[in-house]
């Protein structure tokens, strides 16, 4: 099939590349000319495990092309995916300017080129309930008719950064929201090769598909947040959240996933999607109490190590002259994405208190530099980058683990301890990657989330 993907970020690039791997002819469009140049030259613009092999093959066999011209991509396409940003607006709602702007452009192009034929326009972005209708209206405003010239489908994406290629190639389910039988058939034909193991393609109406995505992300965010609150309580009553996790995760009604306590969720999806659903509820006059709590608790959780670090290192509440090593910048392992990363929240707080931070991340240093160039740090402390985890710990008064990259799990602890200051150097493990007893045995003063302190 001939496919256009508009927006070549994490979702668009992975989707486009995977559709090409399945034998489709794919053209990816982006307004960022630098990004398009780089992709045309064979340089990936994101870090995503496993993507490069398919990307190289798609380009080599000319099934995967990149352009800045929407018209060029649209002309031959049977299916047009919108994988555009939907960032939070000031009031927390999803900002639809990119999606509706491109819908308007598509309407204009289709109206001017009636010989391009019927197109299925697919919302892959995470968009509030009612957006399919608004996209349809934006295209129909050019004198076109839904059902005849085009149809709009809601097809939310559930891939997880870090395992996005696997998730896309073998989705647990594909949600297709459309009231058009014709569009439903096109989508089924497109996705059938991805669900050969029997996972379902769930056809439903547009509104339910749009709500499904928000419900999924909000429930997952609530699950993590619930566990973080259990962890906070475990610390107070002397229980161990890891034991509790095993105790409840074996209950099939609960399941073992998404029960790991830590310094809160981040990323480009959970915070904004929970906010957007909360906002949708408010607009409907409904107060979605759980989401309110999830947002508040997560904000606190991301900063929860700060008072502990201050208490351990300072008498006056300031951290001037202190150096904090930080392991991890990405919002989770196996990605270079730092949007809403808890590590960034900690860096802002620590440097505001005067501390110098020396950070290491295997993939997310460049994206971090770009973020702090756009939105500079405001405190007295400085941020520097290390070439390795050991270098970040070297000379540090405390070490913070902010992302659970596998390489942080089994370091040479003797080397780390010797390189840090103090007789029993401080480690604040925001992701519970270490065993408290091992850390005590290795000579550290070790803090983690929801687990008893081992003296």
305 near ligand NAD, rule: CB under 6 A: no
Cβ distance to ligand NAD smaller for residue 269 or 353: 269
Q: Which stretch binds ligand NAD (CB under 6 A): 3-11, 239-247, 321-329, 422-430?
A: 3-11
82 near ligand NAD, rule: CB under 6 A: no
Q: Cβ of residue 127: shortest distance to ligand NAD, in angstroms?
A: 7
Can you tell me which of 5, 26, 28, 29 binds ligand NAD, judged by CB under 6 A?
29
Cβ distance to ligand NAD smaller for residue 323 or 367: 367
Distances (CA, A) of 36 to 42, 43, 67, 443: 10, 10, 6, 50
The owner of tokens 């393609």 is 201
Phi and psi for 56 in degrees, rounded to 5? -60, -45
26 near ligand NAD, rule: CB under 6 A: no
The owner of tokens 């302190």 is 453
Q: Cβ of residue 24: shortest distance to ligand NAD, in angstroms?
A: 19
| Spatial separation of the C-alpha atoms in residues 328 and 83, rounded to whole Å | 28
Can you tell me which of 35, 149, 278, 302 binds ligand NAD, judged by CB under 6 A?
35
User: What letters, b where the CB count within 10 A reaches 16 and e where it falls short, cover 150-184?
Assistant: bbbbbbbbbbebbebbebbbebeebbbbbbbeebb
Q: What is the bridge-based pairing of β-strands 174-177 and 79-82?
A: unpaired
Q: Which of 186, 28, 210, 212 is nearest to 136 (CA)?
A: 210
347 near ligand NAD, rule: CB under 6 A: no
Q: Is the distance from CB of 74 to CB of 4 less than 8 angstroms?
A: yes
296 exposed, middle or buried (CB, 10 Å; 0-12, 13-18, 19+)?
exposed
Q: Cβ of residue 359: shortest distance to ligand NAD, in angstroms?
A: 22
Q: Which residues are catalytic?
A: 269
| Spatial separation of the C-alpha atoms in residues 67 and 37, rounded to whole Å | 8
Q: Cβ of residue 22: shortest distance to ligand NAD, in angstroms?
A: 19
276 near ligand NAD, rule: CB under 6 A: no
What is the per-residue binding string for ligand NAD in 90-119, x denoting contact by CB under 6 A?
Answer: --------x--xx-----------------
Contact footprint for ligand NAD (CB under 6 A) = 6-12, 29-32, 35, 83-86, 98, 101-102, 125-126, 157, 159, 161, 268-269
């Amino acid at each position: 099939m001939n496919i256009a993907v508009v927006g070549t970020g994490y979702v668009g690039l992975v989707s486009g590349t995977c559709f090409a791997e399945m034998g489709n002819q794919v053209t990816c469009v982006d307004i960022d000319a630098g990004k398009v140049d780089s992709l045309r030259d064979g340089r990936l613009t994101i870090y995503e495990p496993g993507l490069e092999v398919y990307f190289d093959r798609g380009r080599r066999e000319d099934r995967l092309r990149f352009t800045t011209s929407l018209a060029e991509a649209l002309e031959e396409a049977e299916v047009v995916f919108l994988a555009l940003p939907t960032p939070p607006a000031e009031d927390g709602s999803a900002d639809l300017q990119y999606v509706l702007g491109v819908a308007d452009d598509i309407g204009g192009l289709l109206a001017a080129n009636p010989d391009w034929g019927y197109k299925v326009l697919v919302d892959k972005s995470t968009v509030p309930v009612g957006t399919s209708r608004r996209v349809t209206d934006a295209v129909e405003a050019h004198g076109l008719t839904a059902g005849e010239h085009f149809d709009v489908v809601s097809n939310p994406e559930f891939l997880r950064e870090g395992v996005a290629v696997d998730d896309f190639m073998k989705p647990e389910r594909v949600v297709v929201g459309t009231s058009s039988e014709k569009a439903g058939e096109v989508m089924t034909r497109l996705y059938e090769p991805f669900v050969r193991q029997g996972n379902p393609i769930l056809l439903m109406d547009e509104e339910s598909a749009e709500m499904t995505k928000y419900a999924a992300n909000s429930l997952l965010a609530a699950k993590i947040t619930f566990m973080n609150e259990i962890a906070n309580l475990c610390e107070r009553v002397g229980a161990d959240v890891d034991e509790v996790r095993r105790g409840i995760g074996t209950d099939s009604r609960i399941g073992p996933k998404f029960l790991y306590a830590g310094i809160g969720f981040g990323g480009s999806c959970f915070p904004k999607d929970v906010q957007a659903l909360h906002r949708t509820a408010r607009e409907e006059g409904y107060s979605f109490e759980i989401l309110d709590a999830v947002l508040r608790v997560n904000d606190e959780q991301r900063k929860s190590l700060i008072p502990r670090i201050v208490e351990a290192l300072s008498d006056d509440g300031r951290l001037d002259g202190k150096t904090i090593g930080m392991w991890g910048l990405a919002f989770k392992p196996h990605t270079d994405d730092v949007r809403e990363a808890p590590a960034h929240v900690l860096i802002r707080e620590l440097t505001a208190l005067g501390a110098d931070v020396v950070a290491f991340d295997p993939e997310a240093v460049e994206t971090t530099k770009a973020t702090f160039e756009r939105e500079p740090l405001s405190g007295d402390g400085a941020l520097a980058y290390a070439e390795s985890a050991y270098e970040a710990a070297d000379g540090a008064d405390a070490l913070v683990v902010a992302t659970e990259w596998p390489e942080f799990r089994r370091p040479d602890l003797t080397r780390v301890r010797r390189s840090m200051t103090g007789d029993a150097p401080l480690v604040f493990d925001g992701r519970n990657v270490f065993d408290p007893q091992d850390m005590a045995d290795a000579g550290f003063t070790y803090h983690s989330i929801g687990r008893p302190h081992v003296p």
